[in-house]
Structure 1
Amino acid sequence: METELKLKLATADVARMREHPLLAELSTAAPREHELLDTYYDTPELDLWRGGLTLRVRRDGEAWIQTVKTASAGSPVLHERGEWESPLEGPQPDPADLSRQIKPQRLRELLRSPAIVGQLQPVFTNTTHRTTWDIALPGGQLVECALDSGSIDASGNGRNAEIGELELELKHGNPTRLFELALALHEDIPLEVANDSKAARGYALLQDEVPAPVKATPVRLGRKMRMEEALQCIGLNCMAQIESNVPGVLARSVESLHQMRVGLRRLRALLDMFRDLTPLPPELQEELDWLSGELGATRDWDVLADSTLPAVKGIHTEALQAAAREHARNLHRNMLPTLHSPRYTHLMLRMNGWLRGRQWRPASGLAKDDPLHQHALDGLVPLVRKAQKRLRKRIEALDENDAPARHRVRIAAKKARYAAEFFRDLLPEKEVKAYIKCLSQLQDRLGHLNDLAVAGRLLPVLENGGHAHDGGYARGWVAGSADAGAHGLREALGKVARLRLA
């Protein structure tokens, strides 16, 4: 299993990175230079890729090596995947030879399938100049640092992409050191986290598909886990959802942006839940708040254009929808420099380092009476009850017609639901299922009311932009719909207030 942190840099900065004094200082020997030609093989239907494998033949000088890798596991930032390789006599792959090394039966059978082996063909090539350093970090951490420049060229359709990439592969030690090294280099030369591999970029050249949005995956907690292990596991699950949706957001996918925002919201809810046990450093909290604001403004216009305005009755809203979509497109366009910015890279590296390195720990380690040291089965109870109590208090104080207060109840319901979802594996199955279902129903209802309130705030922008009549009508319609939707809310809120889980 290899563990790599992949970072992108501008091709114009490759020469500067090659001469970076930190790499020279930490290197145990002179860097090695290689000219590599990688040819990726697959069927015309890309069966290997769709099955979670890549098959590569590499020429390095006079040597030929074939390699099979699995899709990255865990966080898209820190690539952890299976890798098997064997030498070849020449440029033709021999997948049957590789399959003998692979234990998972599904992968072994995929490589041996006559239907696949008989159709293998080159699908794209990478031509790369690689400079490699062996890095020794303080504390005995060993890292292979590879700087690549070159191009990816798709077979048949003439598409290509430049390569400017820095790979930090952990040979021995703690993965958090990769993030520290990356941050030190990022101080001098702007880097971006690479959420996809060269293989993924090569396959993207072959297909015209927008990356699919990635929803949250279930959090898997062991019953013997301690609280700090649970915090790390849940936090990395949230980070994976954020990071997995970046390619889609860069392609201006509305749903990818929504799912990236959900991942960020889940992460912030988790950190708020654990705030009394281990507060996030203030500078990191500030940066998460910044990113949340960037994503939220774009999402508001998406909802107005695609959900709220199409529901307005009594007028044709096509012109309003088009104007709202134009605002949304401009904000999606503005997300590109945000996600390409050094500030975003710094946040992702710091946040991953904090979680993976358990940087909440004091230098002496956790004391046995530290709340983070207790078993998660015990420690989750006060956290879940705290979320329940906050929700009940907001419900009891609510004026149903107060939109900001309804929104605060919605946030509390969301946090209570996230708490139950995070610790689902450690809670009674039947009770947690009913609890989450009830909270989700309330959240959907309050979410619709919040969308109407946001529409009332955004529509004046369209009115002032030449849609005074239709915008004014739509604003009146959403206000009336919000008043109607608030009626009878108290009964649903009372049901939720009576919920008990822990």
Structure 2
Amino acid sequence: MNVETELKLSLTPGVASRLAKHPLLSDAVPSRERVITTYYDTPDLRLQSEQVVLQYRKTGSGWFASVGKTASGDREDAGRTEWDVAGEPGEFDFSHVADRGFRLWLESLSQDLQPAFTTSFTRSTWLLEPRTGVRIALALDRGWIVSEGRRQVICEIDLELLSGSAGDLFSAVSALQSDLSLHPDASTNIQRGYRALADWSLRAVKAVPARTHAGMTANAAFRTIALACLKHLQGNEPGVCESSHPEFVHQARVAIRRLRSAIRIWRSLLPEAFVNSFYPQWQTLAGKLGEARNWDVFLTETLPAIAAAFPESAENARLSNYAEQRCAINRDAARSALQSDDYSRLLLDFTAAVLALPDRDARRLDAFAPTCLEKRAKRARRRAAETLPGDAAARHRLRVAYKRLRYALEFFAPLFPGEMLRHYHLSACALQDRLGRLNDLATAVSLTEEALPGESGETIRGWLEGQTRRLLPEIRDSLNDFQQHPVPWRDQ
């Protein structure tokens, strides 16, 4: 979905019932239609694996078939190569497909095609004209996704900008959101349908490589990276809210850290008001997820090591019970944070602000990147000189410095292709992983003090501090290894 011209938002049935009474819609008369769409695939889901969508849709009295390859395999309309042709469900006539190889491939699967899932909803559409020259189509879909007896609710609105600017689209959403609880929805009916079909458990979403290139402006690169970070974050929302697996909170935090790093990298090119408004908000949200992540790591990684080191300790049960309680409390807090209206507004306001950023600096990315990388590498070297003789706080500052360098490397990676960058990046990752282990140990000392204050936890805390001392030589080796690697951006 192109967020500059189209937005999709989820809402509850109760909120949906109040939508038509909103002042923005009060003068518009809706049109309504019933839309039924059946998606087809093979039993082994060959179409989905090849990012192909085959659907039969009924609107009004007629059925239409469409088939095509998609840009991402999960969107209803992105990148389709073929479009609507009249046809009844189950009549697999692909003669209209212009791509011969694609057509032959589809025909070879015809005997195996079967209904995968069906979406059935009522669509109410309003044409909004909030001011002269601005026209926005708002569609409310209410119904179901049905797959092998399992049903999921469809309750969402789509806003499509027909004329006007992206700012007009977001202004309309802001007006709606002032009275209604709306949330930007990153999932699609196709994704939800396949998940229901296979009864898949939720899967954590990781960051994908930045789609930057040397010829784009630095500001355009920031937009690309910021929106990618939001997609990474929202990809893990369902897991944070519906699952207790720690990887979802971890990946959500990574997405926010990457986003905050991008804001810091581009700070000199961004409006001061933009940075001052949004950076603290993302920092606050990261903090709400941080406690959940700390206790997840303690419960799943640190506690088993403590139990193995002290198998007879009477304190293990107390420590475990306390950690489980804190995990549950902080997971609930993380869920609440991502289900709040404040979070929904932050997503929309930030997206609107990113798209509205002025292109006042036409500097190319390949001119901007080396200076940014050099600055972060220099800071990391300075932190390294302070770390080994320093304390846990110094090691934490070093970890943050290398993490920011690593994210910058990943943002600018397409500018420096080749083995030099790959080896430099791998070495930075190895160093950051070891520094992360040190940080986990330092955090574990603090959490153990909370769970077992005073003398009751002294032995365990002493053991954790001993693990830290044993890890320091590995940090020294990783630092030496990293510092010996050629710097890729200086070789250009």
What TM-score do the two structures reach when normalised by structure 2? 0.87
Paired residue for 2:309, among 301, 309, 314? 314
- 2:357 paired with 1:360: yes
Matches of 1:342 and 1:460, distance apart in 2:
35
Matches of 1:166 and 1:228, distance apart in 2:
30
RMSD over equivalenced CA pairs, Å: 3.1
C-alpha contact 2:288 2:333 (8 A) present in aligned 1: no
Matches of 2:84 and 2:6, distance apart in 1:
20
Count of matched residue positions in the alignment of Structure 1 and Structure 2: 478
* Structure 1 range deviating more: 1-10 or 291-300: 1-10
Matches of 2:71 and 2:12, distance apart in 1:
24
Superposed displacement of residue 208, structure 1: 2.8
- 2:376 paired with 1:387: yes
SS in 1 for 2:387: coil
Superposed displacement of residue 194, structure 1: 1.5
Deviations 1:111-144 (A, max 9, x none): x1433x2233333333312111234566855533
Q: Which amino acid aligns with 2:238?
A: P
SS in 1 for 2:269: coil
Paired residue for 1:460, among 408, 428, 449? 449
Q: How does 1:201-216 map to 2 (within 5 A)?
A: 201-216=192-207
Distance change in 2, residues 1:429/1:136 (3 Å): farther
SS in 2 for 1:118: helix
C-alpha contact 1:306 1:321 (8 A) present in aligned 2: no
Matches of 2:17 and 2:221, distance apart in 1:
42
Distance change in 2, residues 1:492/1:129 (3 Å): closer
Matches of 2:257 and 2:236, distance apart in 1:
14
Paired residue for 2:292, among 288, 298, 305? 298
Paired residue for 1:480, among 453, 466, 478? 466
Q: How does 1:207-226 map to 2 (within 5 A)?
A: 207-226=198-217
Superposed displacement of residue 455, structure 1: 0.7
Aligned to 2:334: 335
Distance change in 2, residues 1:41/1:429 (3 Å): closer
- 2:143 paired with 1:150: yes
Matches of 2:477 and 2:124, distance apart in 1:
66
- 2:38 paired with 1:49: no
Deviations 1:139-175 (A, max 9, x none): 85553321111222223xx322222110123446655
Matches of 2:113 and 2:100, distance apart in 1:
21
* Structure 1 range deviating more: 280-289 or 263-272: 280-289
Paired residue for 1:446, among 435, 442, 445? 435
* Structure 1 range deviating more: 180-189 or 424-433: 424-433
Q: How does 1:15-414 map to 2 (within 5 A)?
A: 15-24=17-26, 30-68=29-67, 73=72, 80-82=78-80, 84-94=82-92, 96-97=94-95, 100=97, 108=103, 112-115=106-109, 117-136=110-129, 140=133, 142-155=135-148, 158-171=149-162, 175=166, 177-252=168-243, 253-278=245-270, 279=272, 280-312=274-306, 313-316=308-311, 319=317, 320-321=319-320, 323-355=322-354, 357=355, 359-361=356-358, 366=360, 372-398=361-387, 400-414=389-403
Matches of 2:230 and 2:75, distance apart in 1:
9
Matches of 1:448 and 1:410, distance apart in 2:
10
Superposed displacement of residue 448, structure 1: 0.6
- Show structure 2 runs of 5+ residues with no match: none
- Show structure 1 runs of 5+ residues with no match: 367-371
C-alpha contact 1:4 1:78 (8 A) present in aligned 2: no
Q: Which amino acid aligns with 1:12?
A: G
What TM-score do the two structures reach when normalised by structure 1? 0.85
C-alpha contact 1:210 1:251 (8 A) present in aligned 2: no
Matches of 2:100 and 2:136, distance apart in 1:
28
* Structure 1 range deviating more: 403-412 or 257-266: 257-266
